Chains A and B, each alone.
Chain A
Amino acid sequence: DVKVTQSSRYLVKRTGEKVFLECVQDMDHENMFWYRQDPGLGLRLIYFSYDVKMKEKGDIPEGYSVSREKKERFSLILESASTNQTSMYLCASSPPGQGNTEAFFGQGTRLTVV
């Protein structure tokens, strides 16, 4: 069974803190993605990676960075959390190939920045 696991279901952080969101997949997928989900705005792509140590900006990368040191793990980093980063964060992975396969999602992390 396909598994994408995010380290936390709920997180509460203070403004200015450095926040790490972790995602692990056990399907040996090359591609991994981070999205944020906000009401009325759908799933917006923050960053993605198509290989270890490779990363590319999505549509809303400002205020975020990522790390992919191992194939199975993709981390999203909020360098200095702000209240406008309060959101649901979803990680996904997909098999190799350029955007022509199913994406598998984690269960999501609801982050609240106070």
Chain B
Amino acid sequence: GENVEQHPSTLSVQEGDSAVIKCTYSDSASNYFPWYKQELGKRPQLIIDIRSNVGEKKDQRIAVTLNKTAKHFSLHITETQPEDSAVYFCAAPTSGTYKYIFGTGTRLKVLA
């Protein structure tokens, strides 16, 4: 069945460094790849997304890259700040259905 693998499960970086989280998906027809951030005690919220006709998208300090051939996409956070500490989820909604599948999450800690 459809599968989304996310790595790493935890990531600690020093403030100001970059963080990269990677997801691999199985459905080659998937065409929408969102990333969600969940702060402690709060609901997941969309922070950036990319569609399959684009290879990279940036929004200030965050960017997402997509490699459709290899079926993986990555979240890049530059100049990390303490407020970036959260759990990040990728998703690869299954094409042709209404199913919305998430990765297992990455707990990012930004050390001051």
Contact = CB atoms under 8 A, between A and B. Distances in A.
B96 A98 contact: yes
17 contacts: A31-B100, A33-B100, A42-B6, A42-B103, A43-B102, A56-B98, A56-B99, A92-B100, A98-B95, A98-B98, A99-B93, A99-B94, A100-B32, A102-B34, A102-B49, A103-B46, A107-B42
B104 A40 contact: yes
Interface residues of B, number: 30
A23 to B, nearest CB: 12
Interface of B: 1, 6, 9, 30-32, 34, 36, 42-46, 49, 51, 89, 91, 93-105
Describe B's contact surface by its main secondary structure: loop
Smallest CB-CB A-B distances: 8 pairs = A99-B93, A42-B104, A43-B102, A100-B32, A105-B43, A50-B98, A42-B105, A102-B46
A113 interface: no
Contact of B99 (A48, A101, A107): A48
Contact of A90 (B44, B46, B51): B44
B102 A94 contact: no
Nearest to A92: B100
Contacts of B45: 105
